[in-house]
Structure 1
Amino acid sequence: MSVYLTGKAVLDIQAGAPNNGRGTADQGNVTPVKQHRTGGKTYPYGSAQWWRRMLRDSFPDTDTPSPIIINGKDAKQQSYTSGRPDRHTDDDLFGYMAATKSAQHMRDTVLSTGTFVSVAPERPTRDFCTMSRGLPTGANPILHEHEFYTAALQGDLRLDLLRVGFFEQEGRVRKAALSDEAVKEALRAGCVEVTRRGNTGILLPIEERRRRVGLLLRTLASMHGGASGAAHYGDRTPALILLAPIQGGNQPFTRILAPVEGEIRFFPDTLREEIAAWADVLDGTVHLGWAPGFLGDQRESARAELDDLITAGRLIIDHPRVVLTNLAQAIETGHHDTWFQD
């Protein structure tokens, strides 16, 4: 059964507005943040598209992004990437739909993400602002407002390791990933034709597949960006990230964080029970990156309560950057090549 890196990431937003919503006429000159209500309570959130864009923009300059192609105009205008996952890591990991008059090629995403929703209910604050600089004497200032909040946003993640660097052409796929000419070019460049999960496609060499996964993990460790960076600059790397190699791609770690009397709590017993329940399909160590200071002293308490799992090598708890870079290095050097096998 195929292996996925599955888990969750938590962003510690301090007085930030990383993903703005759409204002309405009745709100006036106000820029809202994205938020939803459930159970009569308000939860700020960041969309999956926002987080994926921030991650994509955080890729190092050494990794050339897929060029954007724009066709048509007005209501018929279209934009899409070049659709060459053999050449560009972002086309490989994030997917695309490249549609022209003559052909359509598409790739489903390899990196699945959930919506990043506040763990605890939080009501955004409205910040009142004015623009009065340089206005003539007697002129009224221009009024505007925007929202921001302090919250921990959590979202689920899943990386399909089997599909990294594998581009389906025939089988249970809606559209081929590559054109016939692109297939020829990829084969000349060192790719091979294989069958995986019943689909025939083009496979990159293992060295490049390792590199791309390592690049993704290292980028997770150094994410930056989001909206309102000038007025609400802050850390956008995960304050907590959990990744586990699991066969089948299930997500058993959704409930390790929850609010208790208004405070966010990490539940070691929940993590312990999930690790035990899914032991038959866990293909290695569970990696938990946890920034010091996030959730107060709960990190050290969790280390103490889960010490037997740590000692047994079933769980690692360390700084998110250390966890992600060490896992990236292990994958890049071939220690986990079995994770890429069908």
Structure 2
Amino acid sequence: MAFLSGFLLIDAPASALNNARDAQDAQYDNEVGVKLIRVGRESSPYVSAQAFRYWLRDTLSQNPEWLAHTAPVFREAKVAYTDANPIKYWDDDLFGYMRAEGKKASAKDSRADDSGRASATELSGSVTRTSPFRVGTLVSLAPTNVVKDFGVMSRTGPNMQEGDPVPHSHQFYRAVFKGQLSLDLGRAGLFTYTGKSGNQNLDEVRRKQAEDAGLEHVEAQKAYRLSRTERIQRIAPLIRGLGELRGGAKQALHYTDVTPAAVLLVVTKGGNNPLQYVVGAGEEGRPRVNTEALKETIRAWKDTFLSPIYVGWTAGFHDGERDKLRAALEELQAEGVSFVLEHPRTVLHHIADDLSSEAGAGWLA
């Protein structure tokens, strides 16, 4: 199977992209904190994988074609789940799901009261699907100081009540986040019924739908598979969506463009992520390209590469490191390594387009 793997960098010059329920080292009762990983006395801000996936889902929802194939969500008391039908819904296919209807009276009452449930796919047993799209927690390249900003709720005007301003405080930071990415291209559009947790994608109802829809039956894998054209139709918007990412907390006070400042991706024969050590922290926590790590990694893993190395690096974002990366990749060209270096959005569109190429035919086998 082929995997599109690598990482992205998000530049957060003065931001609070993912807030915590309880602020660490809070000085005020109503202080809003940011999520932090602590090692000793040092703190590294992070953005949870759940938050990142929410940003991506929200970005994709702006695409009318994707939105038309987004699964509805149903609730039972305190439980929520999607329709869990990857044949019909693109997000159920690529982001995974778990659905098992509750047997308690409260759950049955919730189902009975949900008028929108008429559109739900029937369920003949529990179904689960591990996500073909995987993302790691986005963590600051280096520990950083968290700043506390003091403010007040105070307005002037004839309609304001008299009294003292209400103080509040919130935390923010300056950081560059790095997050790992992986998309299992072979599992996108492939739905199994093995009975194993995470792989019981289809129950009897959904298997019947797969047969009626004319999906290929891959009996050896106990699976049904969409056509290559249909799979590309789903995967391409997801890849392009990474280059148009939007989201993040505290945008009214710390507007931050969360589109990737840099991405490094490659299609490989396995799910390993060989590029993860190419960029780390340099002086004062700034991104640093480790050219020796790049060369060693590529020479060790290039026999598994099925594509060029796709590099997206925004001009103006640490241009010296971009130049170092280009020089190292040009040196490796003499050893048969190919690469693409453009703007991150352009590169991600390039990858999506390559899915339909002759070279991309093997990625979805």
TM-score, reference length from structure 2 = 0.86
Q: Which residue of 2 aligns with 1:97?
A: 98
Q: Which residue of 2 aligns with 1:146?
A: 170
Flag the 1:177–1:17 CA change in 2: closer, same or farther, 3 A.
Answer: same
* Contact 2:24 2:33 survives alignment (8 Å): no
Q: Which residue of 2 aligns with 1:22?
A: 21
Matches within 5 A, 1:1-342: 2-23=1-22, 27=26, 28-59=29-60, 60-64=63-67, 65-72=70-77, 77-101=78-102, 103-133=125-155, 136=160, 138-170=162-194, 172-174=196-198, 176-195=200-219, 199-262=221-284, 263-310=286-333, 312=336, 314-333=338-357, 335-341=359-365
Deviations 1:212-236 (A, max 9, x none): 2211111011111122222222211
Secondary structure, in 3 states, of the residue corresponding to 1:186?
A: helix
Identity of matched residues, %:
35
1:116 Cα deviation from its structure 2 partner: 0.4
For 1:145 and 1:248, the matched residues in 2 are separated by 47
For 1:82 and 1:193, the matched residues in 2 are separated by 22
For 1:35 and 1:228, the matched residues in 2 are separated by 16
| Residues matched between the structures, number | 334
For 2:135 and 2:236, the matched residues in 1 are separated by 18
Secondary structure, in 3 states, of the residue corresponding to 1:193?
A: strand
* RMSD value, Cα: 2.0
Write the letter of the residue equivalent to 1:184.
K
Q: Which residue of 1 aligns with 2:105?
A: none
Write the letter of the residue equivalent to 1:70.
R
1:68 Cα deviation from its structure 2 partner: 0.7
Flag the 1:208–1:15 CA change in 2: closer, same or farther, 3 A.
Answer: same
For 2:82 and 2:303, the matched residues in 1 are separated by 40
Write the letter of the residue equivalent to 1:33.
V
1:333 Cα deviation from its structure 2 partner: 4.4
* Contact 1:310 1:316 survives alignment (8 Å): no
1:296 Cα deviation from its structure 2 partner: 3.4
For 1:26 and 1:276, the matched residues in 2 are separated by 46
For 1:305 and 1:165, the matched residues in 2 are separated by 36
1:126 Cα deviation from its structure 2 partner: 1.1
Deviations 1:55-88 (A, max 9, x none): 111111321221110112xxxx110111011111
1:179 Cα deviation from its structure 2 partner: 2.7
* Contact 1:264 1:295 survives alignment (8 Å): yes
For 1:333 and 1:105, the matched residues in 2 are separated by 34
Gaps of 5+ in 2: 103-123
Deviates more, 1:257-266 or 1:269-278: 257-266
1:269 Cα deviation from its structure 2 partner: 2.1
* Contact 1:172 1:199 survives alignment (8 Å): no
Secondary structure, in 3 states, of the residue corresponding to 2:236?
A: helix
Flag the 1:24–1:160 CA change in 2: closer, same or farther, 3 A.
Answer: same
* Contact 1:190 1:205 survives alignment (8 Å): no
Write the letter of the residue equivalent to 1:328.
A
Deviations 1:255-277 (A, max 9, x none): 11222331321112211210101
For 2:301 and 2:360, the matched residues in 1 are separated by 19
Gaps of 5+ in 1: none
Structure with the larger helix share: 2
Secondary structure, in 3 states, of the residue corresponding to 2:131?
A: coil
For 1:161 and 1:224, the matched residues in 2 are separated by 24
For 2:318 and 2:311, the matched residues in 1 are separated by 14
For 1:95 and 1:190, the matched residues in 2 are separated by 22
For 1:171 and 1:309, the matched residues in 2 are separated by 45
Flag the 1:180–1:303 CA change in 2: closer, same or farther, 3 A.
Answer: same
Secondary structure, in 3 states, of the residue corresponding to 1:244?
A: strand
